[in-house]
């Protein structure tokens, strides 16, 4: 284990098992609907890819990139769009796929933005949820794991662009970000 890590929180085996369960739920609920799956870059890249592989129904994909200002461990509440969707979503069944819901600012902003574009339906799928940190209210439709208030990295999640490529999810030592 990397010396910057406190402990492993979720192993790659546990992630794979849970991703399979979510894929089967989406398969059931979106049968015949050809949903548009939206990957929120960059953190949800591996989750998105594994989820899409595990799903069996037809689906289309698109990508969006937003930033919540700053490279630290806290969201500032200000969201800017770095890369928008490549196609309109009017009339589509949209499922937005995030790595983690923390304050909820990012997803409440995206939900409001997408609502203006009149999709047929809108759902939120997140690998991780830290409900104790919520500032903006968001309804999460699919959640991999509810986790306590720790800063975590790996499986796509980073701290200042580091540790994304770890296969498991780890708790980052406080000393790494409280400097
Ligand atoms: P929110 O807008 O506060 O809900 O923040 C969502 C974004 O903050 C996520 O998409 C992540 O990029 C980032 N984030 C929040 N908590 C963590 C964490 O524990 N590790 C890594 N990134 C995090
Ligand atoms: Mg993110």
Q: Quick count: other Cβ atoms within 10 Å of Cβ 32?
A: 6
**How many Å lie between the centroid of ligand 2 and the Cα of residue 171?**
17
Give the pLDDT confidence score for residue 162 in this predicted structure.
Answer: 97
**How many Å lie between the centroid of ligand 2 and the Cα of residue 6?**
22
Would you say the CB of residue 96 lies under 6 angstroms from ligand 1? no
Average pLDDT over residues 31-59: 98
Give the pLDDT confidence score for residue 13 in this predicted structure.
Answer: 98
Which of the ligands is closest to the CA of residue 110? Answer: 1
Per-residue confidence at 69, pLDDT binned at 50, 70, 90? Answer: low
How far, in Å, CA of 106 to CA of 78, rounded?
A: 8
Give the pLDDT confidence score for residue 89 in this predicted structure.
Answer: 98
Which of the ligands is closest to the CA of residue 45? Answer: 2
Q: What is the pLDDT of residues 119-165, one digit of tens each?
A: 999 999 999 999 999 999 999 999 999 999 999 999 999 999 999 99
Catalytic residues: 102
Which ligand 1 atom is at minimum distance from the Cα of 158?
Answer: 21
pLDDT reading at 72 higher than 70: no
**Contact, 105 vs 75, CB < 8 A?**
yes
pLDDT reading at 111 higher than 80: yes
Per-residue confidence at 170, pLDDT binned at 50, 70, 90? Answer: very high
**How many Å lie between the centroid of ligand 2 and the Cα of residue 41?**
6
Residues 6+ apart with CB under 8 A from 56: 23, 27
Which ligand 1 atom is at minimum distance from the Cα of 77?
Answer: 2
């Amino acid at each position: 284990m990397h010396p910057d890590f406190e402990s492993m929180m979720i192993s790659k085996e546990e992630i794979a098992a849970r991703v399979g369960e979510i894929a089967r739920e989406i398969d059931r609920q979106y049968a015949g609907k050809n949903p548009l799956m939206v990957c929120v870059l960059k953190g949800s890249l591996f989750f998105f890819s594994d989820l899409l592989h595990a799903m069996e129904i037809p689906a289309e994909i698109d990508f969006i990139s937003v930033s919540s200002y700053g490279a630290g461990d806290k969201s500032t509440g200000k969201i800017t769009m770095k890369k928008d969707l490549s196609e309109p979503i009017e009339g589509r069944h949209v499922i937005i796929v995030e790595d983690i819901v923390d304050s909820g600012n990012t997803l409440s902003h995206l939900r409001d933005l997408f609502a203006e574009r009149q999709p047929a339906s809108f759902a939120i799928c997140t690998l991780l949820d830290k409900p104790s940190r919520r500032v903006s209210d968001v309804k999460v439709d699919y959640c991999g794991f509810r986790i306590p208030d720790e800063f975590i990295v790996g499986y796509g999640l980073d701290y200042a662009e580091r540790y994304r490529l770890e296969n498991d999810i780890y708790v980052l030592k406080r000393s790494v970000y409280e400097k």
